[in-house]
């Protein structure tokens, strides 16, 4: 049960990262195409915890960063609980 919760929290964090990345993509390339979208997808996959910091620092929109980092925190806690309950 804790393992599924951990993965769910990580999924929420990844979705928040991708939402921030899409907002950044629209700002940088207003008429984005397949190439920009694909490159943005892979870059965000590597750096999804860092991407939500950009809207927070640049325009004061910290909502996605808070969701991302709190979800990662709860994912780590749930993962540790899953590991404890197996032992």
- What contacts 18, CB < 8 A, 6 or more positions away? 41, 44, 48
Of 71, 79, 70, 74, the closest CA to residue 2 belongs to: 79
Is the confidence at residue 48, as pLDDT, over 80? yes
Model confidence at 18: pLDDT above 70: yes
Residue 87: pLDDT over 70: no
Q: Can you list the pairs that 43-49 forms with residues at least 24 positions away whose Cβ atoms lie under 8 Å?
A: 44/17, 44/18, 48/13, 48/14, 48/17, 48/18, 48/21, 49/13, 49/17
Q: What is the dihedral of CA 43, 44, 46, 48, to 10 degrees?
A: 160
Chain segment 56-77, per-residue pLDDT in tens: 999 999 999 999 999 999 999 9
How does pLDDT run across 26-36, given as a tens digit for each residue? 888 888 889 88
Domain residue spans of the chain:
2-86
């Amino acid at each position: 049960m804790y393992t599924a919760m951990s993965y769910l929290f990580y999924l929420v964090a990844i979705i928040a990262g991708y939402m921030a990345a899409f907002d950044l993509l629209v700002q940088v390339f207003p008429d984005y195409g397949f190439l920009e979208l694909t490159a943005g997808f892979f870059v965000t996959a590597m750096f999804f915890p860092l991407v939500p910091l950009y809207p927070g620092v640049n325009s004061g929109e910290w909502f996605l960063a808070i969701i991302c980092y709190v979800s990662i925190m709860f994912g780590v806690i749930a993962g540790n609980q899953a590991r404890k309950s197996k032992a």
